[in-house]
Structure 1
Amino acid sequence: MSELPLLGAAMPVDVLETLQDFIVNEHRDLELQDFCVPGVLDDDWKPIADRAKELLSGYRGRLGIHGPFWGLHIASPDREIQKVVTRRMMQGLDVCEHLSATQMVIHSPYITWDYNNLDNAPGRQAYQAVLDHAHATLDEVVRRSEEIGVTMVVENIMDKDPDIRRTLVEDFNTSAMAVSIDTGHAHYACGSTGAPPVDYFVRRAGNSLQHIHLQDADGYADRHWNIGEGNISWHAVFRALGELTSQPRLILELRDKTGILPSVEWLRSCNLAR
């Protein structure tokens, strides 16, 4: 890249109140986190969304939300569970439409157990079953996403196989589905379950990658530390990102939101991002 990539961040609206200038002045990518909190979608969420719109007056960056995920499995074989997940995802899209957001993060259905057991059935039966259940849950949601111009990005959670979410996304054959990577989750999978390192996840996603959560970690747990506090090889990660043309949103997703600006400065000091 001739110019350092521009970092965005994930935060709730109350933090946007304090980081408005940081986001708006350079039109950085923003991911709002309020709407994945349990209970919020069942209450009147519009005042939260409307406050975000006020704070983002004049903003021309790429806006997204973290979609609902607590207790939700996007490839459950249970038809009643599928209905609940479909409804929750549609509620998330209601928020996106109200905000004119163009991306919604959803969680991968794959767990470490799958890596060791999906081949424990003849042919590709177990792999196909997951895809079939995902379609039963998300086909209606995908159609709505296409209509309102939202891309749902599927984030790795316990994925050991860096390819499997891309396979799921490609099976939907739509621009309304893409791949997301969480660097801390990938680093956990590498350190604790024997998955490839984070930069391999990036390369294997290729231009299907349209979103990345940047957080530092130690390979043991989902730390969401400030960048530079863990042991992820950030030079390798940004080297792999530099090979892409899909321009994924680079979203700092930190537990301590006061670490957003220091993390930007850390990456800037390494000549990796700004």
Structure 2
Amino acid sequence: MDQRAELSEFLRLRRARLKPEDVGLPDFGRHRRVPGLRREELAQLAGVSVAYYTRLEQGNGRNVSMEVLDAIARALRLSDAERDHLTHLAKPTQKRKRSAMRPQRLRPGIQQLMDAMDGVPAYVVGRRTDVLGWNRLARALFGDFAALPADERNFARLVFLDDNFRDVYTDWEHKACEVVSYLRFDAGCHPDDPLLSALVGELSVKSEVFRSLWAAHHVKDKGHGTKRLHHPLVGDLTLAYETLRLPDDEEQSLVTFHAEPGSPSEASLRLLASWGTDVNVEVRG
């Protein structure tokens, strides 16, 4: 991926989403020729010259300091994930480039930990949203990952290209946006990853929704929250999820799901666990 173009487009779109009144500037209404803030307004807010900011928005971030990046991030009202993404785009490191080429392996101890999680669906996701491992209940809830070829065990591919997997998420549009935001964050960390470029290219060709979301440059890192899911046998579930980064590889995350004690979703999870792996959601890939 062209990192200069990515930096330029990201800054332009983040600037365009801010209105003058959002940052305490006067709004001249119909006399404004561009959406959002002008470059000179953003430069003023960040405390840098217009020429300096213009060079950065044109993709020239080679000599930019962290202090300036922080000032621009504050002026653009960036989230923590967006701030990190801006830093990755403007100041790439050789360490990140090398790690993109290193295959990820799931440590056996993590698989044993997931297998011991009774009543808790869990899986490990790595770079490019690759699914690296899962336990029995995650397989029953989300689908039989083991039935897929290893190179197709990928959340982005499943969310956008598999109809059965799509049916798992009650709010599929939100999940789709999340997945693209994760991929964008990953692309900022590893712009030279050929497998990521190939994945983005495939999804762009096969999914109009993906193309639209990718063009928006939304960025998000994995976290915690609530997911509403649907299983063909136990029905609707509302589950809380937590994302835990693994200590020996920060690009691998253990994702767990649990239901509120005493809730119908907890009863559904227990029922699903008691049936074993014969109730898998079909995942075609």
TM-score per shorter chain, which class? under 0.3
TM value normalised by structure 1 = 0.24
**Which protein shows a greater Rg?**
2
- Which one has a larger percent helix, Structure 1 or Structure 2? 2
Normalising to structure 2: TM-score of the pair?
0.23
Which structure is higher in RCO with an 8 Å CA cutoff and minimum separation 6?
2
